[in-house]
Chains A and B, each alone.
Chain A
Amino acid sequence: MKNKNKRYLFPAGMIISFFLDGTIQFIFTPQLQSQTTIMVSHLLLLWLIMGIFYSDNKHLELWAFGIGLAFDSYYTGILGVYMILLPLIVYLTKIAYQYFEPSFFVLLLIYFIDLTVLEVSYYAINEMIGFANESVTTFISTSFGPTLAFNLVLFVILYYPISKLMESVNRYN
């Protein structure tokens, strides 16, 4: 029974971080979005990346696909953006995983690269369909830079709790 319950940690955490992203954005709007800086929380991506290294979940691309589809449908209404970006990032990170031993600094760098891929391609898609209306330079200075900084701080704070939590679940399986 105990083992069975522990299998649900990964999906449960994923769903909670999915909702927390929106709730953080909503509650802290005055702090996160000012005239010169826009910070966006990416806890969902953080949970997925930690899942690759510390959980023994085998079907991460499928989970990423499902939660990405839900994200598109519930938050933006434009299907097909996170639906493809999240599984692709998970797939590429899994390849990188083969060459590294998981440690704090390795994950920090990999998370940095993943955030860059996600933010830049999300911006490119939105620019393509006419939803984002800013130049590349304003994107980098107002949105991209602050978002990276904010999420790396979140990573530093959350790395140990999440990795310990995921490892404690794996040991008994």
Chain B
Amino acid sequence: MQKFFSNRRLIIILIAIIVSFSLISFSVSVRNKKSTPPLIQEFGNDVVGLFDRAVSYPANGLKSSVVGISDLLNTYQENQKLKKQVDKLAQVQVESDTVKNENKQLKKELKLNSTLTDYTSINASVLTRLPSGWLNQLVISKGSASGVKKNAPVMAGSGLIGRVIEVNKTNSKVELISTTNDSANRFAVQVTNSDGDIVNGLITGYDKTDNLLIMGQITSKKSLKKGDAVVTSGLGGTTPKGLNIGDVSKIEKGDYGLASKIYIKPAADLSDLTVVTIAQTLN
């Protein structure tokens, strides 16, 4: 037994534990600041990310070919369905282009340079996912060299999936919207009901058993229905306005009848992500 913890070993272990705890508290405290990560860590992450590409790109190729085969089997039915939608879409596209142009001209007239809805999008592929049960994080293949900034919202498919929490030169980390982290930055969102009334709030949590987002901090008592659309409100400045999140799934009266909780069914599938889009605000 005395061989286990001889004096020298014990001291080394104690020092290691103290160092690691101070590193943990240091990392947690600087996590939400703009300037992180430190330069050395950023460089190290870039080097590691470079090697990760050699492993993840072949693996992703394999995955997409498997998915491709199963897609092929459903092609006929899907084609029939999609044909019907395409005609409608072309019309909507033309209309939206005209409206966008008009909007641009009107903004120019008013001398508005940028509003809450303006953003540039950067596409990136997902390199890897953190092997852990509760920290839902991804590493994506674009970094500050491509113009990614900290706190930018990240979209995939049809909806919002999370936020950039760390930017290196050539890769960055994304914290998914389903995170259980207490200190994560929250999204400001709004629900529009059928009468056109707007209810503002924040995404405050995630219901793991039903895969639903929880919206709290609700500002008004206007009535909402199942299926009302939820989008980002652009309040707070880091997130552009109008990014799709999902729709209302159920509404629950909160404790003591004070505030209600709204459960949102997310539009994006958080467990199957290969390509993501970073929506970068212009200012």
Q: How far is the CB of A159 from chain B (nearest CB, A)?
A: 21
In the bound complex, what is the Cα–Cα distance between A80 and B30 (angstroms)?
14
* B181 interface hit (Cβ, 8 Å): yes
- Known A73-B44, A74-B45, A84-B16; judge A133-B4 contact (CB<8 A): no
Which of B205-213, B235-243, B245-253 sits within the interface? B205-213
Partner of A79, one of B26, B128, B165: B26
Asked if residues A21 and B131 are in contact (CB atoms below 8 Å), the reply is yes
Q: How far is the CB of A122 from chain B (nearest CB, A)?
A: 8
* A163 contacts across to B, CB distance below 8 A: none
* A93 interface hit (Cβ, 8 Å): no
- Residue-by-residue, is A94-132 near B (CB-CB < 8 Å gives 1, otherwise 0)? 010000000000000000000000000010011001111
Partner of A27, one of B51, B63, B137, B138: B63
* B28 interface hit (Cβ, 8 Å): yes
- Known A26-B56, A27-B59; judge A131-B133 contact (CB<8 A): no
Asked if residues B208 and A78 are in contact (CB atoms below 8 Å), the reply is no
Give the size range of A's interface with the partner: 35 or more
Interface of A is mostly: helix
In the bound complex, what is the Cα–Cα distance between A169 and B152 (angstroms)?
48
- Residue-by-residue, is B3-24 near A (CB-CB < 8 Å gives 1, otherwise 0)? 1100000000100110111111
- Known A19-B128, A73-B41, A80-B27; judge A131-B59 contact (CB<8 A): no
Asked if residues A88 and B13 are in contact (CB atoms below 8 Å), the reply is yes
* B49 interface hit (Cβ, 8 Å): yes
Asked if residues B56 and A77 are in contact (CB atoms below 8 Å), the reply is no
- Known A19-B128, A23-B128; judge A80-B23 contact (CB<8 A): yes
Asked if residues B56 and A79 are in contact (CB atoms below 8 Å), the reply is no
In the bound complex, what is the Cα–Cα distance between A72 and B48 (angstroms)?
12
Q: How far is the CB of A102 from chain B (nearest CB, A)?
A: 20
* B31 contacts across to A, CB distance below 8 A: 77-78
* A162 interface hit (Cβ, 8 Å): no
Chain A 11-51 residues near chain B, CB threshold 8 A: 15-16, 19-27, 29-30, 33, 35-36, 38, 40-42
Asked if residues A133 and B131 are in contact (CB atoms below 8 Å), the reply is no
Asked if residues A23 and B55 are in contact (CB atoms below 8 Å), the reply is yes
* A152 interface hit (Cβ, 8 Å): no
Q: How far is the CB of B54 from chain A (nearest CB, A)?
A: 8
Asked if residues B135 and A76 are in contact (CB atoms below 8 Å), the reply is yes
- Residue-by-residue, is B160-192 near A (CB-CB < 8 Å gives 1, otherwise 0)? 000001100000010000001111000000000
* A166 contacts across to B, CB distance below 8 A: none
Q: How far is the CB of B45 from chain A (nearest CB, A)?
A: 5
* B74 contacts across to A, CB distance below 8 A: none
Closest residue to B136 on the A side, CB-wise? A33
* B256 interface hit (Cβ, 8 Å): no
Asked if residues A75 and B139 are in contact (CB atoms below 8 Å), the reply is yes
Asked if residues B208 and A80 are in contact (CB atoms below 8 Å), the reply is no
Chain B 118-137 residues near chain A, CB threshold 8 A: 126-135, 137
Q: Which 5 A-B pairs have the closest CB atoms?
A: A80-B23, A22-B128, A133-B180, A26-B129, A84-B20
Chain B residues engaging chain A, CB cutoff 8 angstroms: 3-4, 13, 16-17, 19-28, 31, 37, 41, 44-45, 48-49, 51-52, 55-56, 59-60, 62-63, 126-135, 137-139, 165-166, 173, 180-183, 208-211, 271-273
Q: List 10 A-B contacts (CB under 8 A).
A: A23-B55, A75-B139, A76-B132, A79-B24, A79-B41, A80-B20, A80-B21, A81-B24, A130-B182, A130-B183
